[in-house]
Structure 1
Amino acid sequence: MRIPEETVERIRQSTDILEVINDFVSLKKRGSNYIACCPFHNEKTPSFNVNPTRQIYKCFGCGKAGDAVRFVMDIENIGYGEALRYLAKKYGVEIEEQEQTPEDLLRQNERESLLIVLNFAKTFFQETMRTTDEGKSIGLSYFRERGFTNPTIDAFELGYTLDQWDALLKEGQRRGYSRDLLEKAGLILIKDGTAGGEKKVFDRFRGRVMFPIHNVSGRVIAFGARILKVDKNQPKYLNSPETTVYHKSQVLYGIFQAKQAIRQEDVCYLTEGYTDVISLHQAGIKNVVASSGTSLTTEQIRLISRFTPNVTILYDGDAAGIKAALRGLDMVLEEGLNLKLLLLPDGEDPDSYVHKVGADAFKTYIREHSQDFIDFKASQWLTEAGDNPLKRAEGISDVCASITRIPDPLKRQTLSQRVAQVFHVSEQSVISEINRLLRKQQDQSKKDVERQQRVGDNGKKNTSGSMNSPTEPSFEDINSLLDGFSAEPFDQAPTPNGSEPDRFYRDERVKPVRTPISYQEEECVRLLINYGTRELEPGITLCQYVLSELHEIDFQTSPYDLILTLFREAYSRGDILTANDFLNRRSDAPERSDDVALQSQAIHLTTPRYEISGGWLKHEILVPSEEEVGILADSAYRNILRIKKMLAEQRMATLQQLLREASNKSADEADQLLAEFMHFKRIDIEISSLLGTVISG
């Protein structure tokens, strides 16, 4: 089904980009805008900028840019239509969809289909638990025994699946979902029959309580399932397989339910199991997630870092819990997060302990027993070492090895003092050990690179791996010289997603080359997009002035040439385009890729990377704004001069090359080339004089 254009506009008008992005990453106010570490690439210093006035975002690190719809598309990896439905649901906008053509159906994203069928399965499991005798007596009874209330069961959308071979399969097919889609979603299994017989098709989950796994936006992407009867032939826990929408190393159980509390409390508690998360959530400790189904991964840590830089690991107090805590410790430090660890009393896990002592006592225990990683490791080593000085030295080296994982050198320096205090050794000896380990890491990295290069050289696969108002002189003479002149095109390196050509992207290893004139063309369209409707003098807008001065001159850089053409077409209809005409362009189909590029460019050209500090105003340091008419007119005037100067220089370079080859030409042809060269030389000298620049020889 297709969403009508008027409904799309209602969704856009209802959407607040700050609310949308805040669901996925914590924003902090800076000046009139908001910043954060970019959710699309790994960074330690915030370069992700959100402009609430224009309702756009821009990352100055990786180049990602767009509006709220584009953000949802990129962060969830879904199509345009599904992103609109997500926003419509969030803001209560009713959608009356139109019938799709066969071509529309063919373009439907497989990811969207999987999310739809997974949502069906979640609802089916919920209804099974609530409405069937087996579901109520086994599934609901189990959750009641765990102490889970109805609001908690609803918040985590818990359910139950019947102990039957094909209950979900039959209901799914009745609803119109194909076997192929159900299999891709990890809900059914298809196995070949014995002796070439008919294939066997059956539900993956049977006779289990179901724990839906949600992504950050609350969509169900997978399931965890626990069997309740004793069956040696069945695993106690069974998880969904990896699919297009589910990659277990990138997911944290409970992140959707916890993200707001993590933001508010400015700390994330990390546990191991589903019921740990649910029990703590019910007890009022809602800023808790679990790395269920996998050991802690870098991707999971980065997901936490979107909402807080502070992590406390809550693990069982037995040997396995200690081992798990130590395994994840260095990974958290390596991502630059602040880490604390808490081991519960032996034999307890977060679920059992919060039921045993209650929410208040549990919070008190966290507050009183949480340790930083130095104290945690030191306590383990000092207990083991006793009076053995060699074991003690080994412990110091181990703690120093963890400190080397921290990317911030200032933090390393501070923590070296702490290690010296805990182990009662000199700070200089700790610093020396840290430096020794850092050098060792660098040497090993160098050896790894050399080894990979050798592998590559042997032909094997290499696995290695972003003023014052001017006195405006007449352009008549210069324009008459340039009449009929068409600059020769030049090679322009392609740029990803239509973004600015000179930015370094995380998927790019070579910086694309830009020609000097491309910067001037970019500046010209920036002025048009931001100030095209402004009057430089009564009755003359900046758009009118620029287009008249660039008469018969085309830009050489994509997409600046397209933007200039769109301005010309609009002006011929008596209209002047604004930034919103580019920012609100749709991007719902492959053939509209130009719209994506134009929107991205408009965001780049309307989003300043820096803002003037409020301290300047406090100390009465006044900075002229380019929006002032005199400064704006001068900027446009000088920009056009530079474009024309560069066009003349390009033509001169071409004529010089032709003159070098003049030996193959007649005297008349050589004289004609020389005369043309002198013609453009005069243009170059005249414009240099107007710009006040050094005149080339």
Structure 2
Amino acid sequence: MICTTQKGVILSMRIDESTIERIRQSADIADVIGDYVSLKKKGANLWACCPFHGEKSPSFSVSPAKGIYKCFGCGKAGDAIRFIMDIEGLGYGEALRHLAKKYGIEIQETQLSDEQQLAQNERESLLIALNYAKSYYQDNLFQHEEGKNIAYPYFKERGFSDKTIRTFELGYSLDNWDAFTKEAVRNGYNVDILVKAGLTILKGNENETVQQNQKTFDRFRNRVTFPIHNVSGKVIAFGARILKNDKTQAKYLNSPETEVYHKSNVLYGIYQAKNAIRTKDVCYLVEGYTDVISLHQAGIENVVASSGTSLTIEQIRLIARFSQNITVLYDGDPAGIKASLRGMDMILEEGLNVKLVVFPEGEDPDSYVQKIGSDAFVEYIQKTASDFITFKAELSLKEAGSDPFKRAELIKDMVASISKIPDSIKRSVFFQKTANLMQIDEGILIAESNKISLERSKQREKDNQRDANRQRLQNDLPSGVTLSKPEPNVNFDDLPSFSEEDEFSGFPTDFIPNNRTTNVQNIQPNIPVSPPKVLTGIALQEKECVRLLISHGIKEVDPGVAPGVTLMQYILSEIDGMNFGTPIYHDILTMCRERFTQGVVLDTKFFISHSNPTIQQEAINLVTERYSASEAWLKYEIIVPTEDDKLADLAYQNILRLKKAFNDQQMKDLMQQLAKTSDADEQTHLLGLFMKAKEIEKQISKELGTVVGR
């Protein structure tokens, strides 16, 4: 449900807690993440290459049992809701709506105050406006006389069925300067949001308001529209084609870059294609929107286009979420093929497997599939697809002919491409193949590759040194002054073909489980201990204590000795009066103490679903295990004790180490104070405290089985 303030900002209402809990219960973490990456089971968890950073070996772990994900490479972690927030860049409320829609949950909402409304994420407003525009354009196509007479026949001439038109949500913008903008404003949409979404253009003095002299224009007027979706299916931009023969206007027009749309990160058709790419384990990459639509209609659904840009690293990594195999489909234009070959090195460098297909002269994927049909089209691809090296060699050898210099340059170019492949076995295979094709010794190719790799390494060192020098200069500059970056060299041939663009005291202290007392008095240092700035011995033991509380707090610490006593109750009683210095662990401990005094023992789920992202992230980091027992051990009945089997010992040892760390810090502080004072009475007092702390150290060390120096 949408509401607006008097200023017309598009805003969402608050989802009630019962609905949020239903969404949490319904959202299966593997199912949610499986919409974005291909997950493979290994042990108790599922693994994939991380969708948040580029990597070639999987370090992204999903735990269906705990309902969390964690990347051991970049550190991203969370639950299903956090994943949607991170991957889509959505606010909390919009991520909940996304999951509610996925699982068919009806949203129950309450009205927000004006202040709460204004605090909503602008990004959500942009997405809502773009979705409205999509529906508006589609209504024009099917219901408005102009759309039915002009745009609808165009799509029919392209061979698109009504089902296909609705699948890709194609539409039409009327031949009117501001028909869309006026209609959107009448429906409560703020012009500022429409402009920021790339839907409306403002003309006039930028210092004046819209209500004064600025005029508004529809960006995509008199054009058929192709909504561009992100991976989850939200409309983030539009491509549009003019239907008139007007040389004064660009044939194709794209949305400008916005907060929700960065064309280098987007692939046209990825939402419609992702499941097919995962199932077929190959992605067909084409050049145009209509190529994607025609192939999809023909049953070839694992196809995407680069959305009007030269192929980018981000687009390649997007494909890699679903498959490691790419087949690039080109039309028969030699110049276009040569220009596009530059992107192939990037695919190789990302560790993906790439093949290429060229269609007969004058044909493109759209026309060819309509000409020969889907079965013959797929057969053609299977027969003619060649690996990148073979393709490049055959294409260039025709030009080089017998000219030795051109052949030498061609060989160097091929070696440069092969040297970018990260997998050594694949490199070796391609060196062998190139040696055979070019009739040259394989050792020479490998030597040349080593030379190229060395040069690249030196260049990277220079780049890193330059960046380091630049950062040092920046650090020396006055506050607010920034070094300008040098402009990159621009190759205008590479430009896109589209022209636009929550401490409580009072905890009971009389409880200590039988056989599990530390036999050491509660240590409450008379000298305050400063919070550690780095992860010191104290911080490490605080971390382990919090880990035990989060992971096992609701479990019985020792059922045989103290039935019914939870680990939370045991630890909190043992460390009563002790405060943690590390802020995040202090906050978590405070939550545990507060809720326990209210009769509530917090469980793992409370922390890994916490609304505070810092607490949630730390909780997931603490409960996530990177390694698990080998399945072969289970097969041969090799029993590996779990933490549940030794919970009492783990808690007991941690409490002792925690108290020892605090006591060690107290002794260190006492020694420093002794060195600074010359007052005899003060020295006697401090020495007394030190000897008392030393005796405590001996008791703890005896319990731990460690040796203490004299």
TM-score, length-scaled by structure 1 = 0.91
Shift of 1:137: 1.4
Aligned to 1:131: 143
In the aligned structure 2, how far is the partner of 1:269 from the partner of 1:351? 13
SS of equivalent to 1:81: helix
In the aligned structure 1, how far is the partner of 2:676 from the partner of 2:543? 34
Shift of 1:691: 1.2
Change (3 A) 1:364 1:605: same
Deviations 1:655-684 (A, max 9, x none): 11111123xx32121121112111111211
Aligned to 2:349: 334
Deviations 1:84-114 (A, max 9, x none): 1111111111113211111211111111111
Change (3 A) 1:673 1:642: same
Shift of 1:316: 1.4
| 5+ residue gaps, structure 1 | 465-469, 494-512, 588-594
2:546 counterpart letter in structure 1: V
Aligned to 2:57: 45
In the aligned structure 2, how far is the partner of 1:219 from the partner of 1:455? 40
In the aligned structure 2, how far is the partner of 1:83 from the partner of 1:167? 31
Deviations 1:427-467 (A, max 9, x none): 21111111011111122223334445555666783869xxx
Shift of 1:619: 3.0
Shift of 1:193: 7.7
1:381 counterpart letter in structure 2: S
SS of equivalent to 1:8: helix
Aligned to 2:681: 668
Shift of 1:216: 0.6
In the aligned structure 2, how far is the partner of 1:411 from the partner of 1:148? 41
Shift of 1:406: 1.8
Of 377-386 and 80-89, more deviation after overlay is shown by 377-386
Aligned to 2:542: 521
1:305 counterpart letter in structure 2: A
Calculate percent identity across the aligned residue pairs.
56
Aligned to 1:560: 585
1:160 and 2:160 aligned: no
Aligned to 2:551: 530
In the aligned structure 2, how far is the partner of 1:257 from the partner of 1:486? 66
Q: 2:423 aligns with which of 400, 408, 425?
A: 408
SS of equivalent to 1:627: helix
Change (3 A) 1:410 1:5: same
1:574 and 2:596 aligned: no
Aligned to 1:488: 528
In the aligned structure 2, how far is the partner of 1:118 from the partner of 1:442? 45
Change (3 A) 1:110 1:473: closer
Aligned to 1:597: 614
SS of equivalent to 2:15: coil
Change (3 A) 1:192 1:388: same
Aligned to 1:508: none
In the aligned structure 2, how far is the partner of 1:221 from the partner of 1:473? 59
Shift of 1:340: 0.9
Change (3 A) 1:675 1:402: same
Of 247-256 and 548-557, more deviation after overlay is shown by 548-557
1:691 counterpart letter in structure 2: L
| 5+ residue gaps, structure 2 | 1-12, 475-481, 487-512
1:608 and 2:629 aligned: no
2:529–2:665: 8 Å Cα contact kept in structure 1? no
Once the two structures are superposed, the pairs formed by residues 216-365 of structure 1 within 5 Å of their partners are 216-365=231-380
Q: 2:28 aligns with which of 16, 21, 34?
A: 16
1:191 and 2:190 aligned: no
SS of equivalent to 1:680: helix
Q: 1:149 aligns with which of 128, 146, 161?
A: 161
Deviations 1:161-204 (A, max 9, x none): 1111111012111111122121111111111289x993332211
Deviations 1:274-333 (A, max 9, x none): 000000101111000001221111111111111111111111121233123312111111
2:174 counterpart letter in structure 1: L
Aligned to 1:546: 571
SS of equivalent to 1:441: helix
1:453–1:462: 8 Å Cα contact kept in structure 2? no
Change (3 A) 1:223 1:641: same
Change (3 A) 1:600 1:445: closer
Shift of 1:542: 1.9
2:514–2:562: 8 Å Cα contact kept in structure 1? no
2:525 counterpart letter in structure 1: F
Change (3 A) 1:474 1:7: closer
1:461 and 2:483 aligned: yes
1:111 and 2:93 aligned: no
Of 273-282 and 418-427, more deviation after overlay is shown by 418-427
2:450 counterpart letter in structure 1: N
1:518–1:556: 8 Å Cα contact kept in structure 2? yes
In the aligned structure 1, how far is the partner of 2:514 from the partner of 2:424? 53
Q: 1:27 aligns with which of 11, 36, 39?
A: 39
2:237 counterpart letter in structure 1: A
SS of equivalent to 2:380: helix
1:321–1:343: 8 Å Cα contact kept in structure 2? no
Shift of 1:583: 2.5
SS of equivalent to 2:332: coil
Deviations 1:510-556 (A, max 9, x none): xxx31122111111111122222322123333222212211211111
1:642 and 2:657 aligned: yes
1:161–1:208: 8 Å Cα contact kept in structure 2? yes
In the aligned structure 2, how far is the partner of 1:74 from the partner of 1:263? 22
Shift of 1:570: 2.4
Of 184-193 and 146-155, more deviation after overlay is shown by 184-193
Of 595-604 and 276-285, more deviation after overlay is shown by 595-604
In the aligned structure 2, how far is the partner of 1:288 from the partner of 1:696? 70
Q: 1:210 aligns with which of 222, 225, 237?
A: 225
1:685 and 2:698 aligned: yes
In the aligned structure 1, how far is the partner of 2:666 from the partner of 2:244? 83
2:328–2:355: 8 Å Cα contact kept in structure 1? yes
In the aligned structure 2, how far is the partner of 1:447 from the partner of 1:77? 34
Shift of 1:636: 1.0
Change (3 A) 1:527 1:614: same
Change (3 A) 1:82 1:318: same
2:310–2:340: 8 Å Cα contact kept in structure 1? no
In the aligned structure 2, how far is the partner of 1:42 from the partner of 1:336? 11
In the aligned structure 2, how far is the partner of 1:452 from the partner of 1:94? 51
1:219 counterpart letter in structure 2: K
Q: How many residues align?
A: 657
SS of equivalent to 1:479: coil
Q: 1:439 aligns with which of 448, 454, 473?
A: 454
2:530 counterpart letter in structure 1: F
Aligned to 2:3: none
SS of equivalent to 1:434: helix
2:264–2:315: 8 Å Cα contact kept in structure 1? yes
In the aligned structure 1, how far is the partner of 2:532 from the partner of 2:386? 56
1:179 and 2:203 aligned: no
